[in-house]
Structure formats: structure tokens, C-alpha cells
Amino acid sequence: MTTATVYRDGAVADGRSAQLRLGVSVLVADGRIAWIRPTDDEDQIPPGTEIVDAIGSTIVPGMIDGHSHLTLPGGARWRDHMNDAPERQLATAEHNARLLASAGVRWARDVGAPMGIDPIDGRERAISLGIRDRWRGRDGYPYVRAAGSWVFRAGSIPGPRAVECEDGACLVAAVDRQLDDGADFIKLYLDGPEPNVAPWSVDEVRVAVDAAHARGARVTAHSTHLPGARVAVAAGVDSIEHGFEIDADLAATMAARDTTLVSTLSVFASWRGFATTTTIERFAGADGRRAAGEREEGARASVRAAHKAGVRIVTGTDFGGGSTRANQLAWEVECLVEAGLEPWQALASATWRGGELLGEPDAGVIGEGGPADFALVHGDPLSDPGALWRVWRIAWEPG
Ligand SMILES: [Zn+2]
């Protein structure tokens, strides 16, 4: 039996322009969009089609969380959970899958998971990879692209369940190991033990990037400080994660090289909340608040520089690997607007721009013949990004 649903008389915001389209009907049949028409000029509706009265809601593409950590829960003690047992990390990922769907997020780009023995398939690799494999094709679960584990230099943050490398030869071996394990792309950690010293040279990183590219995989670089970001961009990575210290020069280079910035400003917004909801000194203490405020201001300036230079910006929450949660991508869209993007541009960052980063042409796109990966929200996200919090219905959810 075919299942068909028409979403009748909604508005549409697809992140392609600042203009909301009103009075739109969308017919979904067998999980795909059969047609999109003005409501007063609908095409044929098959008998037995479910009618959803969508008036008053806005149809938006299923979003893409460009920076997520499915195996970890987030919260003010996010780092402690890196050491959760693999069983617990699988359970956390199940919860995160539900949070993502409920928030209208269709895709999760997992940019790092602890290594460990998967309790279900028994393989020792990044815990995210078995999760991705088992979720593939399952109703209600996000589409996942996963980087495997973090490749980092000893003394920086990722710690004992990531992949430690001192030099270029090790980097290339780590790239091969992650890809052999089934990683979709590579995550290099370009913050070193010293904040203002890149952990590896341009040449060392370039050889690793070339090795990944030769196997058809993209490479991204965690970078919260300028020196590491410079090295990563010069070495040819495809994207920078966080990018809290990008200056105008580096932004121009990124634009010229088509290096994407994945923003994670919402982490700072969540820290501001912890200043009153916790007694943890780094959030609640005067010095901590001041330092976080300065970092946040720098990060906003980086986004502005990148945006001005024409760099592709993609939204990430950093849920799990940072303090945010899996259902908070709308927060990042709001933060991008606060940093200076127009609301439609910030929606683009959360939708089709993310699809470009993933190399998935259907991701974040609403179009005839494409998957019915859209959500219905209340309000106009093209003037009020907060509308993305008010998710009413998810077209890809069963039932
Ligand atoms: Zn992260």
C-alpha cells in the first residue's frame, strides 16, 4: 500500500532567499516529494491521501548539525563523559537520535567519538562508526556521516580514547587506520598542547590531507586558535571546526580555497547559562565569565570576518563534545544571526550549505522528486530564527 500525505496551505522557508512563500501545498508519497504547488492550484491527490492542515506553520528543510558528537551527552561536565563505557555511549546516542529528530535535524555530522570496543559488533574503533552502520535505513534515525576518532597531539584535550600523533608519518598512518575502520571523513585536532603553537607543520598536515583525499575522504580540522587554523588551511583541509580566531587574512584565504567554517557559537551561549545554573568556577566565577565573554566576542568576530569574505558557513552545535545538547541547533542559527548573518543566510547554513559540506545534494533541500525531509515549525524563520525551536511536525517521522 502506498502512503501519501498532503501538507496543505503552509508557508515555505528554504534558506534560498529572504522571502517566505505563502499558500503552498506539498504532496509526499512513499517518503518522497511528489509535487509542490500553490494551494489554490494543487495537482492531483491520490485517493486515500492523508490531509495535514498546515496553515499557520512554516515548512523548513530538515536541518544538518554540522558538528556533533552522537556518543556524548553534553552538559556542563561534558568532558567527563568521554570516558563513559561504550554501553553507556550507545545509550546516549539512542537518546540523541530522538532529540535530533524532535528538533527537526535530519543529518548529524559526527566529528569525533571515543575509541572503544563496540558492545554489539565487537569491533575496536570509534564508537560512532558502529552506530552509524546500525542506524542506516532505520525509520526515525538521523542520517550520519562520521569522522571516526580525533587525531591529536599528546597534551591537548581529546585524551586517552583518541588517536595520538607526534609527527607526519603517524598522521598518515592514523588517516589510513580511520578510513580502514570505515570513517567517512577525517578529523584532525589542530589545537596543540600550547594554545598558540600549531601541533604539526603545514607539510606534515598536507601529506595527511593528501592521503585522505587520495582515498576520496574529506578532512576537517578542529581549531580554536589562529596558528592551527592557518596551518590547516594552508595544508588544504576542507573545513575548519569552531574557528574562534579567524582574522580577515585567513578568511580571504579560506574563501579563495573554498574552505568551509563550521561555527559552534552556541557553546558560549550555553556557558552563559551555566554562570547562573551551576557553581562551577570557570562558568560562575568572575574571571571565568570574563574569559568566556572575551572568547565569545572573538568567535563572533571570526564569523563576521568569514561571512564578509564569502566563506561558506555551516552551523554546528558541538553537542556532546561541548556543552550543548542534541536538540539545540536552533540556538546556533540564532547565534549566527546575532553575529551578523541575515536570518535566511543562517537558515542556509543549517540546511543546504551543510549539504554542500557533506557532499550530499539532497541534504537540507526541499524539492520535487527529493526526499520528504522537512519539518513544520511555527513562526517565520526568515525574520525570527527562534521559530526553528517551535517544531510542530516532522515529515520523515513514521506515524
Ligand atoms: Zn566538537
How far is ligand 1, taken at its centre, from the CA of residue 328, in Å? 14
Beta strands, E only, 1-44: 4-12, 21-29, 32-38
How far is ligand 1, taken at its centre, from the CA of residue 152, in Å? 13
How far is ligand 1, taken at its centre, from the CA of residue 69, in Å? 7
> What's the distance, CA 367 to chain centroid?
22
Residues 3-38 have pLDDT tens digits of: 899 999 999 999 999 999 999 999 999 999 999 999
How far is ligand 1, taken at its centre, from the CA of residue 237, in Å? 16
Please give the Cα distance from 239 to 357 (Å, whole number): 8
How far is ligand 1, taken at its centre, from the CA of residue 360, in Å? 21
Closest residue by Cα to residue 240 from 178, 253, 139: 253
Give me the pLDDT at residue 319, please.
98
How far is ligand 1, taken at its centre, from the CA of residue 112, in Å? 7
Dihedral sign for Cα 362, 364, 370, 372, please: positive
How far is ligand 1, taken at its centre, from the CA of residue 67, in Å? 6
How far is ligand 1, taken at its centre, from the CA of residue 140, in Å? 24
Give me the pLDDT at residue 214, please.
98
How far is ligand 1, taken at its centre, from the CA of residue 66, in Å? 10
How far is ligand 1, taken at its centre, from the CA of residue 59, in Å? 29
Give me the pLDDT at residue 159, please.
75
How far is ligand 1, taken at its centre, from the CA of residue 247, in Å? 21
Give me the pLDDT at residue 32, please.
96
How far is ligand 1, taken at its centre, from the CA of residue 242, in Å? 8
How far is ligand 1, taken at its centre, from the CA of residue 308, in Å? 24
Give me the pLDDT at residue 399, please.
59
Helical ranges in 138-257 per DSSP H: 168-181, 202-214, 226-234, 248-257
Asked whether the beta carbons of 227 and 196 are under 8 A apart, the reply is yes
Please give the Cα distance from 114 to 124 (Å, whole number): 10
Give me the pLDDT at residue 1, please.
53
How far is ligand 1, taken at its centre, from the CA of residue 243, in Å? 11
How far is ligand 1, taken at its centre, from the CA of residue 226, in Å? 17
How far is ligand 1, taken at its centre, from the CA of residue 319, in Å? 7
How far is ligand 1, taken at its centre, from the CA of residue 88, in Å? 19
How far is ligand 1, taken at its centre, from the CA of residue 111, in Å? 6
Cα–Cα distances (Å) from 293 to 204, 248, 286, in that order, read 34, 21, 11
How far is ligand 1, taken at its centre, from the CA of residue 21, in Å? 35
**Which residues of the chain fall short of a pLDDT of 50?**
none
Residues 368-382 have pLDDT tens digits of: 999 999 999 999 999
The residues near 220 (Cβ < 8 Å, ≥ 6 apart) are 111, 147, 185, 186, 187, 188, 237, 238, 239, 240, 241, 262
How far is ligand 1, taken at its centre, from the CA of residue 379, in Å? 30
Closest residue by Cα to residue 329 from 340, 342, 316: 316
248 CB-side CA count, 13 A: 1
Give me the pLDDT at residue 276, please.
96
How far is ligand 1, taken at its centre, from the CA of residue 228, in Å? 16
How far is ligand 1, taken at its centre, from the CA of residue 224, in Å? 11
The greatest distance separating any two alpha carbons of the chain, rounded to the nearest whole angstrom, comes to 66
